[in-house]
Structure 1
Amino acid sequence: MQKVPALGIFIILLTATSAAALVSVENLRKLDIAETQLWDPALSPDGTKIAYVAYDDAHNQQVFVINADGTGETKLTSDVNKKWGIAWGPDKIAYVSFGKDGLEKIFVMNPDGTDNKQLIPDNTRQGSSSEDKPPVWAAPSWSPDGKSLAYTSPDDVQRQKMYIVNSDGTGKRQLLNDDSRQWSPAISPDGKNIVYVSYNSRLKEELFIVDVNGTGKRQLTFNEIKKNYPVWGPDGTITYVSYENLTSSGENVFAINQDGTNKRLFVDGDYRQRSPSFSSDGRKFSYVGINPSGIVKITIGDTAGITATPAPTVITPTATAPTVTKTAHPTPIATGTPAAGGVDLTTMLLMLVIIAIVLLVILIIANTLSKK
């Protein structure tokens, strides 16, 4: 009988095990709701509801909440200002709108729409608009414990910068003090890192990661294709919106590991895909799908391949950021605790157990073959 090399068996089994561990999405279903123009949906932490912006009967943009099965739509806001950038935290919903000074401001409210108020009482812009370069509508991002938010604000030469602020509007601090533009920040499920979009040295949009204390900045992607909406999923997975290649006409949701490996198409279908969002445990996923006619539908699904769920870590911003002066801009159009290497402790232990079992099987096979 021909002997099978033990190393070959090990490599095949280990490769299959690694591939099976990738987070994916399944059971996708489109919500049957009346609005065909809506944007910026955000899943509730428990995955049972979705908040989004759409037009009311008076054609004013409002924040709505609907059950994940498409029933029970409720309007949470009633003012006439434009709205975008929804972020659903542990006990509050944040969004961006225009304040009394005509500048973009972050507002927070209870999930039922009560206690709606401006978060940071200063004269800075707390968001991005279509006149910014690049033209994005950046949403804030909650820490997993709900005690702070990350957001973008342009400096005095209109370069977007990332800030972290306490949930009561105090303790604002700038995250990175360099010349780069930074937008679309998203805090990791363990509260230790922030993924965001910035330019590389060739002025191409790439994903970067930085620690919440502003250290350890590192580039995650290198393909020089436009990117936006980075969002953390389970097990160190990061989803974002980009294009298959430089000539693609429609955006898709892609996924990548925290260490930059295993880039893959996360959602297949729809002409355009935007606004990916996960529940806090990572087991529910939603996004916006747009067909060639411009009809917008929220799609929700279940995630598969999860090996661990990270526990929240408290973030306490301390320093105060410098004051910046902004100008008004127009309104939007509808449109396990990971380690630095991308593998959490639970996953690592699981992999070690699997490797031990594989090695034991190899030894048994080798011993059996040697007796033939």
Structure 2
Amino acid sequence: MPQQNAPITLVALTVLLICGCLSRQSDHIYFASDRDGVGNNLFAVNTAGGELKQLTRDLKPDWDPYPALSPDGKRLVFVSRHQDANLEVYVMDSTGGEPARLTFTPEDEDRPVFTPDGRISFDSERTGDWELWVMDADGGNPARLTDSPGIDEGSSWSPDGKLVAFASERGGRFGIYLAGPDGSDARQLYGGVSFSCNDPAWSPDGKLVAFSSDERGTYDIYTIALDGSKPIRLTDGEGRGQERYPCWSADGEWLVYAGLESGDWEIFAMKADGSEDKQLTNNSAYDSLPAW
């Protein structure tokens, strides 16, 4: 996949302001975009200077790649129909280059993330319904983590690797669940009978889980403590439309997320308490699924 540097349609000053507030941080924000007019490909923006780099050019256009960064920031994992009709897991250097395919099944895989010990967890339909699986970083030794009659998706790991958060509809509507590293002892952290909760993201200090929920009718970003106390709403989807896919900065000071702005998905960032909300992208393209 050839790479391409492109003029950035991004609020560079905002990125610089955010970068200047962080003591330890990845120097790139990664996201999915169809700004090249072909499909949803992966892009990286340098937070120090605002330069935009296109990392992939021939991902299939009909599915989001769901990128996630490795703990050391050197690798990027995502899904694609690049080589066949099925969604498969790929990994590549975070600076670009040729992706390596990790899964080879007749069923779809989705939402891969790195675990704290360097493995990869992901959603898979290989048993007939969507469950959580984990495999080695090279694709070896796949093992199922969950087994429920409903969909389990979107894993995020505690920094110490002792718990995994995920979204599940085993209770009827999607809720946020916690389980042991082998998928055992699953319990609901938050959910309801009339709304859904999705996109869990564990904070770097291990104290909070960010997630999105349509509890108020449109999707907002929330954080919740591990004791299941009342979540704190950070965004107001009524003013923007929808807010999804929260991702923490390495020091836990910021959250980056995707928001529906005037009918168009863009990338935003805010402080962990919901203050200083800033729009990072501003164009007519689809920009979503940030990884930082």
1: CA distance between counterparts of 2:196 and 2:87? Answer: 29
Q: Is the 8 A contact 2:78 2:91 kept in 1?
A: yes
Match of 1:92 among 115, 119, 127: 119
1: CA distance between counterparts of 2:215 and 2:85? Answer: 40
Match of 1:80 among 85, 98, 106: 106
Partner of 1:60: 86
1:185 maps to 2:211? no
- Using CA pairs below 8 Å that are at least 6 residues apart, which structure has the higher relative contact order? 1
1:214 maps to 2:228? yes
2: CA distance between counterparts of 1:18 and 1:256? Answer: 9
Give 5+ residue unaligned stretches, structure 1: 1-16, 128-138, 279-372
What displacement does 1:19 show? 11
What displacement does 1:40 show? 0.8
Q: Is the 8 A contact 1:239 1:266 kept in 2?
A: no
1: CA distance between counterparts of 2:75 and 2:136? Answer: 14
1:256 maps to 2:270? yes
What displacement does 1:255 show? 0.7
1:239 maps to 2:256? yes
Give 5+ residue unaligned stretches, structure 2: 1-16, 30-46
**C-alpha RMSD of matched pairs (Å):** 2.5
Q: Is the 8 A contact 1:119 1:169 kept in 2?
A: yes
Residues 249/124 of structure 1: CA separation in 2 closer, same or farther (3 Å cut)? closer
Higher helix content, 1 or 2: 1
1:29 maps to 2:53? yes
Q: Is the 8 A contact 1:192 1:212 kept in 2?
A: yes
Instruction: Look up the SS of the partner of 1:259 in the other structure.
Output: coil
Partner of 1:173: 187
What displacement does 1:124 show? 3.7
What displacement does 1:153 show? 0.9
Q: Is the 8 A contact 1:97 1:107 kept in 2?
A: yes
| Percent of paired sites with the same residue | 27
Instruction: Look up the SS of the partner of 1:262 in the other structure.
Output: coil
**Structure whose CA Rg is larger:** 1
Partner of 2:166: 151
Instruction: Look up the SS of the partner of 1:238 in the other structure.
Output: strand
2: CA distance between counterparts of 1:251 and 1:30? Answer: 18
Specify the code of the residue in structure 2 equivalent to 1:31: L
1:106 maps to 2:120? no
TM-score (norm: length of structure 2): 0.76
Higher strand content, 1 or 2: 2
Partner of 2:5: none
What displacement does 1:200 show? 4.2
